[in-house]
Amino acid sequence: MRKFNTKLITTVSAITLSAFFAAGCVGNDATPESKWKTGSDIGGGVTYIMDGDKTGPYYVNSDAHKMSISNGRVPTAAELKAWNVDLQPRGIGSPNGQGIPVGSGSVEEGEELYDAKCLSCHGDFGAGYGTYPALGNGNAYELNKTLTNNRYLDPEADGPTRVFGSYWPQLTTMFWYIRDAMPHPKSKTLTTDEVYALTAYMLYINEIEVNGELVEEEFVLSNENFLDVRMPNEDGFEPNIAGANSLPGVRAYFNNPANYGAQKVKYEERCMTDCQDESAKVVKIQNGGIQSFTPPLSVVRDLPKVKKAGIDVLEVYKNNCSSCHDGMLSVGSDDWANYTTKGIDKVYENAISGTDAGMPAMGGVSMSKENFKTLVDYLITGKIK
Ligand code: HEC
Ligand code: HEC
């Protein structure tokens, strides 16, 4: 199971199964400390009393059981069976033995259904609406290229755009998601043909090509051509191992830290400081990978647009210009009048390309010309725009 599919399953089961399992939640505070047994955990953590095969603060807290909980019920076997259907990549191996179901639907039919049942939340052409996710965002192949954009290395780059077209590795996930979870909250009301039509429409709005041809309005998706669809990010998830050996294959993959750029650790036992063997070769992910968690990782799907004209003028001045310009041609000084007579554009130009008299090109900083001009304006006028 690839990472992404796992995530989607969690998401959908959160929507669909919550009705069955909604239960009272009782915090640790309700458990008297005297009931805790400590010490036997290797990490020095708290272990809870076991009673038969049950454990945990909820079970041992008898007060919690006095509350009556009337939310939810145990699902019947038939209900579980009905929900327990999935569609594996390449259409194999679902637990109930179904592969890709027989059926078909066209983009045109999908568009009509979409406008009737999905548009109210997901917006025109899947553009997204408020907190409802976008289902497409233009050409999937172009967006796919943004997945390696790294704002740490290039602060001006747009962040990766992760929508169905650019990011999802398999079409089966889309079919399964629509069939089992949408339209929210009336999930599982679509016929197989309707799911085909809506999936075809998803391909259309993401400008996906099937067998080298762009999906157009008359395109029909069916069980016959389903597996011809290859998503742009098909190989973007590692390890890409499928079939009978998938589990041992995944284990072997993760047993070799070099496969995912991890360093060798020095000690077998737990360790908090100085744990890495410095001689170990570090495997770098393409483009340098993630080099910093500042700003922290976010779960927001659409990354905020970069504030292109955003530099901390005072900070940049202090670090890059003050060593020379505090002494001559200082901030807001009258001496600038001798320079600005030739016109501000010429001043910018000189400062950007550098001068023989000692001004290094852009003062040695690397930033957009627009930002650099803001800096020059500050130097000349003493005011921050
Ligand atoms: C009442 C609002 C609503 C309607 C109507 C609706 N959806 Fe959704 N849809 C959601 C929400 C909310 C999510 C996000 C669920 C989550 O991530 O937990 C979602 C997620 C999705 C996703 C996954 C997107 C992603 O990138 O994770 C797809 C695909 C999708 N919907 C398709 C459809 C289709 C097709 C229809 C019409 C048949 C539809 N939706 C109708 C609310 C709606
Ligand atoms: C190594 C010293 C040095 C540093 C660092 C430096 N400058 Fe200069 N700068 C100079 C000198 C010397 C001149 C005068 C050059 C001349 O008269 O042609 C100058 C001139 C300029 C001019 C006028 C250009 C013209 O010919 O009209 C601007 C604008 C300027 N600097 C901006 C900056 C900014 C902004 C920074 C910081 C990012 C910076 N400088 C960093 C030395 C420096």
Q: Whole-angstrom Cα distance, residue 306 to residue 159?
A: 8
Q: Whole-angstrom Cα distance, residue 337 to residue 342?
A: 9
Paired tokens of 140: 């999937």
Half-sphere exposure at residue 200, Cβ-oriented, CA atoms within 13 angstroms:
28
- State whether the Cα torsion 56-57-58-63 is positive or negative: positive
Instruction: Tell me the pLDDT tens digit for each residue of 196-213.
Output: 999 999 999 999 999 999
Q: Whole-angstrom Cα distance, residue 219 to residue 184?
A: 26
> Looking at ligand 2, which residue's alpha carbon is closest to its atom 13?
359
Instruction: Tell me the pLDDT tens digit for each residue of 92-131.
Output: 545 444 578 889 999 999 999 999 999 989 988 998 877 7
> Looking at ligand 2, which residue's alpha carbon is closest to its atom 10?
359
State whether the beta carbon of 11 lies less than 6 angstroms from ligand 1: yes
Q: Which ligand is nearest to the CA of 132?
A: 1
Mutate-to-test residue for ligand 1 from 132, 193, 204, 208, highest number of ligand atoms within 8 A of CB: 132
Report the 10 Å Cβ neighbour count for 315. 9
Mutate-to-test residue for ligand 2 from 322, 324, 353, 359, highest number of ligand atoms within 8 A of CB: 359
Domain 76-306 sits in CATH at 1.10.760.10
- Write down the domain spans for the chain: 3-75, 76-306, 313-381
**Hey, what CATH class is 313-381 in?**
mainly alpha
Q: Whole-angstrom Cα distance, residue 189 to residue 181?
A: 9
Instruction: Please state the atom number of ligand 1 nearest to the C-alpha of residue 113.
Output: 38
> Looking at ligand 2, which residue's alpha carbon is closest to its atom 7?
359
Amino acid identity for residue 50 in this structure: M
- Residue 359 reports pLDDT greater than 60: yes
Identify the residue with better confidence: 58 or 319.
319
Q: Whole-angstrom Cα distance, residue 46 to residue 40?
A: 8
Identify the residue with better confidence: 320 or 57.
320
Q: Whole-angstrom Cα distance, residue 228 to residue 222?
A: 10
* 345 Cα–ligand 2 center, Å: 15
On the question of a common fold for 76-306 and 313-381, the answer reads yes
